Structure 1
């Protein structure tokens, strides 16, 4: 009897979490009505590689889909936001800007601009700080890609 009382909360949690409506992030993008091709990619190499690999999933070309050519220029800055009494950096601002030129047969070339910022505190260990900065660059590329995709959906 005691074992059954312990199992009831477990089953209730499983039932509630199973029906919470979670779907994978890109599961709804299977029916995308456009394809993307990157013509030109300039700027921060690490960020560009991340963005290029993520855009590759939208690269399948079909005759019945819209087709967009993108020229991307990325710029990454790590600015000191605050310093301590000794003048050492305590907090950084990571700024990623992306200029996108969208070309298509259906529309005239359009230039759009995306900018994302993130505030990061200084780490004691420089190796950990570089790893965290790399992870943040990856996250910023996800955010900017989502914004680009949403813009293309609206066209």
Structure 2
């Protein structure tokens, strides 16, 4: 037992001093977002802007981008039961990203995330679950956008 505790603290001590820094931290990012224009679904756009705000208006960055984001959200009934009631839903979030540098379009990319979930009899819980799922999908898309901007 004592060996495990000593090993645990030794590993923690070694990892603490190894110089780990997050890959996509705002200090290491080589880009700056000057402006974000949005159209489409307001809640999705708000969440994306909120997730990208750490990269906005940074000083002394080599690459300065203006972003145009168009978002759509579709809730599709994937499966129905014998009575015709919805059984399984598919939530699809699509975000089209246009990137501008010096007022010239340098890239356009579309990000898509989807998720299947079952219907429930409690519609309040279903709506709450749908909103939480949407937030998770938007967070995933935001992370993909940040990775894509790092790769440019």
Q: TM-score, normalised by structure 1?
A: 0.80
* Contact kept? 1:81, 1:91, Cα under 8 Å: yes
Counterpart for residue 116 of structure 2: 119
After TM superposition, give the deviation of residue 40 of structure 1 in Å.
1.6
1:82 aligns with 2:67: no
After TM superposition, give the deviation of residue 48 of structure 1 in Å.
1.1
* Contact kept? 1:74, 1:97, Cα under 8 Å: yes
* Contact kept? 2:26, 2:54, Cα under 8 Å: no
1:132 aligns with one of 129, 133, 136:
129
Change (3 A) 1:107 1:13: farther
Whole-angstrom CA distance in 1 between matches of 2:108 and 2:24? 28
* Contact kept? 1:61, 1:67, Cα under 8 Å: no
Change (3 A) 1:16 1:84: farther
* Contact kept? 1:43, 1:73, Cα under 8 Å: yes
Q: Which runs of 5+ in 1 are unaligned?
A: none
After TM superposition, give the deviation of residue 39 of structure 1 in Å.
3.6
Change (3 A) 1:114 1:16: farther
Q: Which runs of 5+ in 2 are unaligned?
A: none
Counterpart for residue 68 of structure 1: 65
Change (3 A) 1:51 1:64: closer
Change (3 A) 1:25 1:45: farther
